Amino acid sequence: MANKKTEPVFTPIGSYNGENKKVEKSVNLPDPTDKTHKELGLSDDDLVKMYDQMYLQRRFEERAMQMYQKGKFGGFLHLYIGQEAVSTGTVFALNDDDDIITAYRDHGWGLVRGISAKEGMAELFGKATGCSKGKGGSMHFANVKEHFWGGYGIVGGHIPIGGGLAFANKYQENGRISACFFGDGAVDQGALHETLNMSQLWKLPCIYVVENNGYSMGTAATRHTVGEIYERANGYGMKSAMFNGMDVFTVYENMKRIADEVREESIPYFVEIRTYRYRGHSMSDPQKYRTKEELKEYQKTDPIERMKKYILDEKVLKKKEVEEIEQKVEDEVLEAIEFAEESPFPEPEELYEDMFTGTPHFHDKK
Ligand SMILES: Cc1ncc(C[n+]2csc(CCOP(=O)(O)OP(=O)(O)O)c2C)c(N)n1
Ligand SMILES: [Mg+2]
């Protein structure tokens, strides 16, 4: 029998086909809201806080990247750069005691939910002063006191926990809701679908949010999943929404509306927020799956630059005042690096503390 060579019918990589420099967008961004901050009920002071927070998330990670490259710490480092409007707009829209849980791209979420730059940087350095006592690292930031239940490394693995938080809140009738964030790469995981089913059945007050940043590692969303992501909700009779995640006002407006409805009606909601990650999947990503032109195209919609322009155009702050915020943040991050470097590593005796297994059975000699 002739040995027929078959042509591959698909290429499981990103959106760049390698033949031309054409910009092939991996995710289409819907239009942002045209409402002003006053129309959205945000004060001038809120705007300043939002800018401060987004800038902190950006500078924290840019510096973290430098520290990683200098070999100050190892392991994984997934940067959230480009997606800061999602975390910031959401936290301003939710109540402070609503529960938030996310995947491993979690630094921005931790910072906006009360982890200081010092505790965050120390965690990256694996130091005992870190937010997870230096034993969680980049993927496991958490601040349970401020209802941030952390970052999780297994794609889709934390989604049932997000549903569980909503179950607990409903059971305790405490008026809180939960918001569970995950990537476009998690939308076909069974755990999501099992959780959506139970959530709709039990009317759990949880917002399930896909941060569609265009890629799951090196594979464009358009190449790893069929149809429109937000339409997954239809199969469960669940309400859904899809909106722009590069504009903090749009995230705030929609998340506030949805959070109010989820709280009042005690129902789950499925949301797709379209955004873009500027950096590689993690630090070891040559990014062969996209062109520089594609990246540049999205960077034109940068959430931080957009906010800065708005603040200056609306004369909320003068240029000098914006620069002062930026300098303050820069100092905060540099101090955090110093703090991380000077902090001690956890003691070897602490190895089994805060673990599910109280005693290290597998080291028992008996
Ligand atoms: C169950 C499971 N399978 C595979 C992996 C390896 N993995 C780590 S990140 C990732 C891509 C996830 O992409 P996405 O959900 O879009 O999140 P993003 O990195 O874009 O934030 C994969 C496949 C994993 N961590 N867990
Ligand atoms: Mg993704």
DSSP assignment letter at 165 = H
User: Which residue has the CA at smallest separation from atom 21 of ligand 1?
Assistant: 183
pLDDT number for residue 136: 95
Which CATH class name applies to 50-70+77-339?
Answer: alpha beta
Task: Read off the tokens for 306.
Answer: 């957009």
Report, as ranges of residue numbers, the positions in the chain whose pLDDT lies below 50. Answer: none
pLDDT number for residue 346: 97
**Helix axis angle, 44-69 relative to 319-342, nearest 10°?**
40
Task: Give every CB contact of residue 72 below 8 A, 6+ residues apart in sequence.
Answer: 125, 340, 341
Task: Read off the tokens for 253.
Answer: 């407006």
pLDDT number for residue 109: 98
Q: How far is the CA of 87 from the centre of ligand 1 (A)?
A: 19
Using the CB atoms, write b or e for 133-171: b if 16+ within 10 Å.
bbbbbbbbbbbeeebbbbbbbebbebbbbbbbbbbebbe
DSSP string, 261-303: HHHHHT--EEEEEE----S-SSSS---TTS-HHHHHHHHTT-H
Ion ligand 2: residues, Cβ under 5 Å: 183-184, 213, 216
Q: How far is the CA of 168 from the centre of ligand 1 (A)?
A: 27
CA dihedral 115, 119, 121, 123 (to 10 degrees): -100
pLDDT number for residue 124: 98
Task: Read off the tokens for 84.
Answer: 């800061």
β-strand partners of 100: 148, 179
Give CA–CA dist 293/11, Å, rounded. 21
Instruction: Report in angstroms the alpha-carbon separations of 271 from 129, 162, 302.
Output: 35, 14, 21
Give CA–CA dist 255/265, Å, rounded. 15
Q: Which of 244, 321, 240, 242 is nearest to 35 (CA)?
A: 244
Q: Which of 29, 34, 88 is nearest to 310 (CA)?
A: 34
Residues framing ligand 1 (Cβ under 6 A): 105, 153-155, 183-186, 213, 215-217, 281
Q: Is 203 exposed, middle or buried (0-12, 13-18, 19+ CB in 10 A)?
A: middle
Enter the pTM of the model: 0.95
Task: Read off the tokens for 198.
Answer: 């139970």
β-strand partners of 212: 274
Domain boundaries, the chain: 50-70+77-339
Atom of ligand 1 minimally distant from the CA of 182: 15
Q: Which of 216, 225, 298 has most ligand 1 atoms within 8 Å of its beta carbon, as the pocket-test mutant?
A: 216
Instruction: Report in angstroms the alpha-carbon separations of 214 from 195, 252, 334.
Output: 23, 21, 31
Q: Which ligand is nearest to the CA of 218?
A: 1
pLDDT number for residue 25: 80
